[in-house]
Structure 1
Amino acid sequence: MEMSLEKYKGIHPGLILDRELKKRNLKKGPFALSLPEYPQTINEITKGRRGLTPEISLKIDRALGFEEGTMFLLQAYYAIKLEQQKDQFKLRPDLHVIRKILFWDTDISKIDWQKQYRSVIQRIFERGNDQEKKEILNFYGEEKVKEVTGRSSVSGNSLPVLGHKKLN
């Protein structure tokens, strides 16, 4: 089989292995024993629950006639895709930086950081310290912070509480 790696980048190599075994009418159990590997190991790999080690990937490459390193390269591409997704979809800011006392009236673990971004940004910029503000600025980005606070910097310390103007 001639593989175009571009076509398979980011797909778990176990899914590709499963497809290839079906295409060749090979059962997972006997294939695993021919490597020799435990059938459970190959089953977990083909279901995408387990990654490939260099040792197993070389065995699979040899058994299926792939160029050496093909399956492990697919594993590397899959790992890269997972890491990129983590960066893209960071679910919440670093809670080690943000004091829980700022969210005294709610369970901080149940905050939907995407849907409730306005109230989170407002609360941190009203009551938080500079470190907490920097974390929120990094998490949401300058555009969202500016949308809520009217500014995109951490200094200047706080938002006016309840919109009251300071009297001279």
Structure 2
Amino acid sequence: MQISIEKYKGIHPGIILERELKKRRLKKAAFALSLKEYPQTLNEITKGRRGITPALSLKIDEALELEEGTMLVLQAYYEIEKEKLKTDQLPNLSLLRKALFWDTNIETINWSRQAKAIIKRVFERGNEIEKNELIRFYGEKKIREAIGSLASIKVLQHNKID
């Protein structure tokens, strides 16, 4: 079986593994035992709290008939994405109310990947300070792409940002 890695880049491989196990109707505990691993270990991986080692990757790839190294490559892409998030510039979080992001931890938001949803949410529910911070952070072009040119022009004019 072949997994298209491109669409899974940056996602924890445990989440992908869990989906694959569900699709194949395999129980996590039984699968873990078939790999001679502790079920708790596999559970931690599928919850995204633990990474996949090269040895475990080989076992999983073989058991699921994936190309050798698939899970390890997914782990590498996940680690790269985590590192990029550390170095990426963030908006000034002190200007954004946590209530805007009630359904998620504001500290773990991927500001580049989820830009469109963030912009829409802040421009629907945010105050002028929050909108201005997003305009500063993302720039007018990205704001226009996310909320539409006519609406964004009115917002930008209202906020006196050219």
TM-score (structure 1 length as normaliser): 0.54
C-alpha RMSD of matched pairs (Å): 2.2
Q: Which residue is 1:42 aligned to? A: 42
Q: Which residue is 2:67 aligned to? A: 67
Q: Does the alignment pair 1:56 with 2:32?
A: no
For residue 14 of structure 1, report the CA deviation from its aligned partner: 0.1
| Compared CA separation, residues 113 and 4, structure 1 to 2 (3 A) | closer
- Gaps in structure 1 of 5+ consecutive residues: 92-111, 116-142, 144-168
State the one-letter code of the partner of 1:46.
Answer: T
Q: Does the alignment pair 1:21 with 2:21?
A: yes
Between the aligned partners of 2:16 and 2:57, the Cα distance in structure 1 is 12
Matches within 5 A, 1:141-152: none
Whose helix proportion is higher, 1 or 2? 2
TM-score (structure 2 length as normaliser): 0.56
State the one-letter code of the partner of 2:68.
Answer: E
State the one-letter code of the partner of 1:52.
Answer: I
Percent of aligned pairs sharing the same letter:
66
Consecutive aligned runs of 4 or more in structure 1 exceeding 6 Å deviation: none
Q: Does the alignment pair 1:79 with 2:58?
A: no
For residue 90 of structure 1, report the CA deviation from its aligned partner: 6.1
The number of residue pairs the alignment matches comes to 98
State the one-letter code of the partner of 2:23.
Answer: K
State the one-letter code of the partner of 2:77.
Answer: Y
